[in-house]
Amino acid sequence: MLLLAADRKSAEVTDWGGRILWIGICLVFVLGIYLLMWRAWKKRGQRQAALPELHTAPESGSAPLLPPLVGRYFGSTTAGDWLDRVVAHGLGTRSPVELTLRADGLVVERPAATDFFVPAAALTGVRHEKGIAGKVLPEGGLLVITWTHGDTTLDSGFRGDHPDDHDAWIETITRLIAGDPPATAGTAVMNHQEGSVT
């Protein structure tokens, strides 16, 4: 019995040297992956250095056409390629967001990144989408706005806290792109909302 007890006790001895070695190897591997990702991000930013600085919203802008859309900004890509993330000027940084649509353009306020402004003349399209910049959501869960900046056409992905609001945004941006007067666009959206309630 004493011999069995001694055998069991000796079996509990841990090879701490080997364990520490494996932990160190794992840490080096993880750090190496992060370093490669960081270098790829920096290189992508350098390739996109020709993208002009982002516009800032004019202080004296027109009245909002819709209530602000509060939610998340998931990133921007070159138009039509949902995996070609644009990182220049902070466009690749995911962040909470508040969108305000005005007759003169789209105000994008991001607490965790640089705010920017898309002039109305730069807006070229809007649609429901399920993925952008490597982020996939349920079918139609993203509001993707297409716009031009310099010589580049971009897709920017947003998701409101209340995704049902996306339809009104798509309708209003589509009218704004088509050249409808701002009041007409706002009135159409209000009529659309009233009709959905009755």
Residue 198 is predicted with a pLDDT of: 41
Token pair belonging to 151: 């010589």
DSSP-assigned beta bridge partners for residue 102: 64, 105
Residue 157 confidence (pLDDT) above 70: yes
190 CB neighbour count, 10 Å cutoff: 13
Residue 3's pLDDT band, with cuts at 50, 70 and 90, is: very low
Contact (CB, 8 A) for 96 and 74: no
Residue 145 is predicted with a pLDDT of: 98
User: Residue 122 to residues 18, 52, 117, 197: CA-CA distances in angstroms?
Assistant: 60, 14, 10, 33
> Which of 34-48, 49-63, 68-82 is predicted least confidently?
34-48
- pTM recorded for the entire structure: 0.71
